[in-house]
Structure 1
Amino acid sequence: MHLRLLTMALFAVVIAASASAQTPDLGAIARGTGTPGIPGLKMVWLAPWGDVTRAHPWRNIIVHQTEGPAGSARGGAQEQSKNPTRRGVTVWVETDGTVYWAVAENLVPTHGDGANRNDNKYIDNGPTYHQVIGSNSIGVEFAGNYPDVTRPATEAQIAAWRILVKVLRARYGIPLERVYAHDWIDFKDARYCEGCALATLARQQGE
């Protein structure tokens, strides 16, 4: 009886060790270079990663949602890749969950509106007012809320975001409290709260 229990216990340890070995180390992947495969993400690399120590010193993540149709992330990312500093972001997410890394991480696209929100409507804007801006924040754009801007992100986008935000935070050492919705830091479209559900999800899953 004791031998059987011991055998079962050893078997459980072996299974657990095997599962642990198969679990991807996102932290290690996130510190890499080139165009790594990231488990759970369909990545399209328009700009590869370089040496992370030479990346722009990103301090925040800003979640955007664009009033564009399904399929528009690809075009937006391609245009961003051709003109990196135009108004837009570094990373684009399509409705099917495809992630486009559009801009070299040492370049700074134009996004955000100067962190002009100071009404504490969603969060305490004391630390963000005129401080969480495009030049220190890596932007992620979720496409597909046209023609209804209140349409939430798709399940595929949400699944991709759960992984992507972990990768971004690990790569650039961004703490959980520095993940922001665009509407949290800027006065935006009054019809909906841009990026709020996604930023909230990121913070909750990291707790």
Structure 2
Amino acid sequence: MSAVEKRRALMNRLKDIWGGQDDMNRVLFLIAVAVFVWSLIEGHGMYGALMAGVVLFLMVSRHGQRLKRFSRLYGTLYFPMPDGEIVPRTFEQVKTEYLHGSQGRYAGRAVELRFPWWYLNSAGEIDTGFGLTVRLAGSAELLDEAKRLRRGDCVRLTGTLVAESKNYFCVGEVETLERISEKDLYPLKKK
């Protein structure tokens, strides 16, 4: 890798980290930078570094809590069965079973997700906000649709669980990506 490619990869990574933060974490980061700069100007750089470190720890903590909250609210994977029944499983259940030897049970299975739009990273992957990655590789039409979505839009997508490794899976081979209303976020609520 050349130096230019390394810099570009680093900038994309930093852009992805910034884009994946909620507004409060962005404000906390800007406050940390401002406190650090102000402390340097005043000649108390160590206090500024300490304060910036505390604020950055708050950011990491908030990010972890947001992941847990989103997982509880929207982290349901809906698996369609051959008889037309939809079986809901939480992302945490599927992840735990997958990590403990059920890769064959889930790899290649059709799945439906419904969640508020969170973020599309520089590699064209959807961050669901609760830890699951959706890859849109190979479909320029779906990627264009994803670029038009804004944070908070409710979306429904169907795809296939793809085994990335023994310890990681994602949703790939996405067939549909569409906006839905907020009342359609929970398909089994009507039943």
Relative contact order higher in (CA < 8 Å, ≥ 6 apart): 1
Which protein is richer in strand relative to its size? 2
| TM-score, with structure 1 as normaliser | 0.27
Which protein is richer in helix relative to its size? 2
| TM-score, with structure 2 as normaliser | 0.29
